[in-house]
Amino acid sequence: MNTDVIDFDDARVRLNDHIVRGTAADGMVRAFAITARNTVQVAHENHGTSPLVSAALGRLMMAGQMMGLMYKSDDELVTLSVRGDGPIGGLTVTANNKGQVKGFANHPHVWLPLRPNEHLDVGSGVGAGSLSVVIDRPGTVPYSSQVELVSGEIGEDLTYYFAVSDQIPTSVGVGVLVDTDTSIRQAGGFIVQLMPGHLDEVVDQLEANLSGLTSVTDLLEAGMAPTDMLEHILAGMDYQELEVVPAEFYCGCDDVRAGRAVAALGRETLLDMIEHEESAEVYCHFCGKRHCLEPDALRDLLD
253 binds Zn ion (CB under 5 A): yes
Region binding Zn ion by CB under 5 A among candidate stretches 38-46, 66-74, 179-187, 246-254: 246-254
- Which among 11, 9, 30, 12 has a CA at the least distance from the CA of 21? 30
Q: How far is the CB of 254 from Zn ion (least distance, A)?
A: 8
Which of 203, 253 has the CB closer to Zn ion?
253
Confirm or reject binding of residue 286 to Zn ion (CB under 5 A). Answer: yes
Q: What is the DSSP string of 137-204?
A: -TTSPPEEEEEE-SSSSSHHHHHHHIIIII---EEEEEEEEE-TTSSEEEEEEEEEEEPTT--HHHHH
Nearer to Zn ion, 253 or 297 (CB): 253
Distances (CA, A) of 137 to 76, 96, 141, 148, 161: 5, 11, 7, 24, 20
CB nearer to Zn ion: pick between 37 and 291: 291
Q: Residue 251 CB, nearest distance to Zn ion (Å)?
A: 3
According to DSSP, residue 115 is labeled: P
| Cβ-based nearer residue to Zn ion, 107 or 289 | 289
Q: How far is the CB of 102 from Zn ion (least distance, A)?
A: 7
Q: Does 282 bind Zn ion (CB under 5 A)?
A: no
Q: Which residues, in sequence order, are CB contacts of 93 under 8 Å at separation 6+? A: 57, 60, 61, 64, 79, 80, 101, 102, 103
Q: Which CB atom, from 8 or from 250, has the smaller least distance to Zn ion? A: 250
The helix-helix angle for 51-68 and 37-47 (nearest 10°) equals: 130
Residue 261 makes contact with Zn ion by CB under 5 A: no
Q: Which of 82, 284, 298, 301 binds Zn ion (CB under 5 A)?
A: 284
Show Cβ contacts of residue 167 under 8 Å, excluding neighbours closer than 6 positions. Answer: none
- 162 scored as a contact of Zn ion (CB under 5 A): no
Could you tell me which stretch among 16-24, 58-66, 237-245, 249-257 binds Zn ion (CB under 5 A)?
249-257
Enumerate binding residues for Zn ion (CB under 5 A). Answer: 251, 253, 284, 286-287, 289
